[in-house]
């Protein structure tokens, strides 16, 4: 994450601190004491607002079965983005070890000084091929890919049209660019069309959407979006973090699922979810765009190269996927098993067929109490509530992985039924 993002993009508590210290040092307080008091009061606001995010400590590898500090025994994990179970796949781990041995722990350099290895070029080629796009550029994360793209592509004469529920990193990336901004209502093609009409005078226009939205598991209406974009002469960008590797007949993503691979121009995605889960992100798209990103994209120019073991793991994950879609199919089958058993038991699951399977509960306290009770039954799930999701739409977001067995799925459903009955959610 570039420092500039923090400074330009957000009003951080640190900025308040700077002001506070200026006035209080003159009154004899130490600067750090003033900062502490500002920070403590900010923390208290979060605690009393009920939006504090705790972190459970996992003491095993990521997987369908994990060990969690403070809970005894084996815990079933239903909240990782490890959709294909590749993050501890033996071949992926071996490839990481091999790359560590042959290419070292890291480059101590950015790409353009002395940080580009054959491994990086090879993974970029593979990713471009996987997405059937001209070229690819790697970043340290998809957050960085989103932070670096828009200001390179779009200037003050251009316009960006963005779904209101796009991922935070897209919102921040758009903040950094000087294009005119239009925000259309979530997946609302009518509103998108209105914004396309409003922005007719722009030089370049880019429609920006998540392929899959992570809180509901809902899929963007890409056919309609591409049709409108074509009609009004706009480009289309999708963020495929929750789709790459498993949506579509060959796991290429939302654009493949909806038959518009040739109509979506730019794709950003992550290596940190289905593709091995280590870290890293990338952009695929037209060659001149990728070349310009290598020249100008700040998170790329001013941040270290991806570590060789991370690159090795991702490359192997991609090879496994390209050789067979058996893993993705097994994940789909388990998703359907979970969704239909839960519906049968009387729960409401949002979305339709995505492995993100949000169990809708409405009340924030209920979601958090139920998640705690699920953990007591050995199932790790997380409640999401406002401001992450709209008020009154609290939920437990379950994520299915190919690494789950049918017994794991059934045990999770059983635990939901037991806790759901206790809390009066199902009878």
Ligand X SMILES: *Cc1c(COP(=O)(O)O)cnc(C)c1O
What are the catalytic residues?
Answer: 214, 242, 273
d(CA 129, CA 120): 14
Count other Cβ atoms within 10 Å, centred on residue 90.
Answer: 7
Does 82 contact ligand X by CB under 6 A?
no
- 8 A C-beta contact, residue 403 and residue 328: no
Interhelix angle 308-323/90-103, nearest 10 degrees? 140
Residue 141 or 297 with smaller CB distance to ligand X: 141
For 35-158, strand residue ranges (E) read: 65-66, 75-77, 135-139
Interface mask toward ligand X for 178-217; x: CB under 6 A? --------------------------------x---x---
Q: How far is the CB of 425 from ligand X (least distance, A)?
A: 27
Does 239 contact ligand X by CB under 6 A?
yes
Which residues does residue 398 pair with via DSSP β-bridges, in sequence order? 357
Residue 290 or 425 with smaller CB distance to ligand X: 290
Q: How far is the CB of 172 from ligand X (least distance, A)?
A: 10
Which residues contact residue 9 at a Cβ distance below 8 angstroms, ignoring those fewer than 6 apart? 172, 175, 176
Site for ligand X in 103-142 (CB under 6 A): 141-142
The pair of structure tokens assigned to 351 is: 């979305």
Which residues does residue 68 pair with via DSSP β-bridges, in sequence order? 58
For 319-401, strand residue ranges (E) read: 356-362, 379-380, 382-384, 394-399
Site for ligand X in 269-288 (CB under 6 A): 270, 272, 281
Residue 214 or 350 with smaller CB distance to ligand X: 214
Q: How far is the CB of 303 from ligand X (least distance, A)?
A: 12
DSSP state of 304: P
Q: How far is the CB of 285 from ligand X (least distance, A)?
A: 16
d(CA 268, CA 237): 8
The pair of structure tokens assigned to 111 is: 């790409």
- 8 A C-beta contact, residue 56 and residue 69: yes
Residue 299 or 383 with smaller CB distance to ligand X: 299
Name the one range near ligand X by CB under 6 A: 10-18, 63-71, 236-244, 290-298.
236-244
Name the one range near ligand X by CB under 6 A: 86-94, 239-247, 253-261, 326-334.
239-247
Name the one range near ligand X by CB under 6 A: 32-40, 83-91, 237-245, 367-375.
237-245
Cis status of the peptide bond prior to 387, with omega within 30 of 0: yes
Q: How far is the CB of 233 from ligand X (least distance, A)?
A: 26
Residue 169 or 199 with smaller CB distance to ligand X: 169
Residue 276: which of 58, 96, 120 has the closest Cα? 96
| Mode of pairing for the β-strands spanning 75-77 and 379-380 | parallel
d(CA 255, CA 263): 8
Q: How far is the CB of 326 from ligand X (least distance, A)?
A: 25
Residue 212 or 342 with smaller CB distance to ligand X: 212
| Mode of pairing for the β-strands spanning 212-213 and 235-239 | unpaired
Give the position of tokens 């990782």: 80
What's the chain's length in residues? 427
Q: How far is the CB of 372 from ligand X (least distance, A)?
A: 25
Residue 142 or 192 with smaller CB distance to ligand X: 142
The one among 89, 103, 120, 167 contacting ligand X by CB under 6 A: 167
Q: How far is the CB of 4 from ligand X (least distance, A)?
A: 17
Residue 213 or 347 with smaller CB distance to ligand X: 213
Question: Which H or E run contains 162?
Answer: strand 159-163
d(CA 175, CA 147): 9
Name the one range near ligand X by CB under 6 A: 46-54, 102-110, 234-242, 284-292.
234-242
Does 169 contact ligand X by CB under 6 A?
yes
Name the one range near ligand X by CB under 6 A: 125-133, 199-207, 225-233, 235-243.
235-243
Compute, in degrees rounded to 10, the torsion defined by CA atoms 287, 165, 337, 380: 110
Site for ligand X in 137-166 (CB under 6 A): 141-143, 146
Which residues contact residue 264 at a Cβ distance below 8 angstroms, ignoring those fewer than 6 apart? 222, 226, 236, 237, 238, 255
What does the binding site for ligand X look like in residue numbers (CB under 6 A)? 141-143, 146, 167, 169, 210, 214, 239, 241-242, 270, 272, 281
């Amino acid at each position: 994450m570039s420092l500039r993002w923090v400074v330009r993009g957000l009003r951080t508590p640190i900025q308040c601190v700077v002001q506070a210290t200026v006035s209080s040092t003159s009154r004899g307080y130490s600067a750090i004491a003033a900062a502490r008091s500002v920070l403590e009061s900010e923390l208290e606001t979060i605690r009393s607002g009920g939006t504090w995010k705790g972190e459970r400590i996992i003491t095993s590898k990521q997987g369908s079965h994990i060990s969690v500090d403070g809970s005894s025994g084996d815990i079933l994990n239903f909240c990782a983005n490890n959709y294909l179970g590749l993050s501890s796949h033996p071949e992926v781990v071996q490839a990481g070890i091999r790359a560590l041995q042959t290419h070292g722990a890291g480059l101590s350099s950015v790409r353009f000084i002395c940080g580009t290895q054959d491994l990086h070029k090879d993974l970029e080629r593979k990713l471009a091929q996987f997405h059937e796009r001209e070229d690819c550029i790697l970043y340290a994360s998809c957050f960085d890919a989103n932070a670096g793209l828009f200001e390179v592509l779009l200037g003050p004469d251009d316009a960006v049209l963005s779904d209101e529920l796009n991922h935070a990193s897209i919102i921040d990336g758009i903040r950094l660019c000087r294009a005119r901004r239009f925000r259309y209502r979530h997946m609302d093609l009518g509103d998108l069309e209105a914004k396309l009409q409003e922005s007719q005078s722009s030089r370049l226009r880019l429609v920006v959407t998540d392929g899959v939205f992570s809180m509901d598991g809902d899929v963007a209406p890409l056919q309609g979006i591409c049709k409108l974009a074509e009609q009004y002469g706009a480009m289309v960008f999708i963020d495929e973090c929750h789709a790459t590797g498993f949506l579509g007949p060959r796991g290429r993503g939302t654009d493949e699922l909806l038959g518009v691979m040739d109509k979506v121009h730019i794709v950003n995605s992550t290596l940190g979810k289905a593709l091995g889960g280590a870290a890293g992100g990338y952009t695929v798209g037209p060659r001149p765009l990728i070349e310009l990103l290598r020249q100008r994209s700040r998170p790329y120019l001013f941040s270290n190269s991806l570590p060789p073991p991370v690159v090795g793991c991702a490359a192997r994950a991609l090879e496994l996927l390209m050789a067979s879609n058996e893993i993705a199919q097994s994940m789909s089958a388990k998703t359907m098993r979970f969704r239909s058993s839960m519906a049968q038991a009387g729960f409401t699951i949002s979305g339709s067929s995505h492995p993100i399977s949000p169990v809708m509960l409405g009340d924030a306290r209920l979601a958090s109490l139920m998640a705690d009770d699920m953990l007591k039954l050995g199932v790790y799930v997380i409640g999401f509530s406002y401001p992450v999701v709209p008020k009154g739409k609290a939920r437990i977001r379950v994520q299915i992985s190919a690494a789950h067995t049918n017994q794991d799925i059934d045990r999770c459903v059983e635990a939901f039924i037991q806790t759901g009955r206790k809390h009066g959610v199902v009878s």
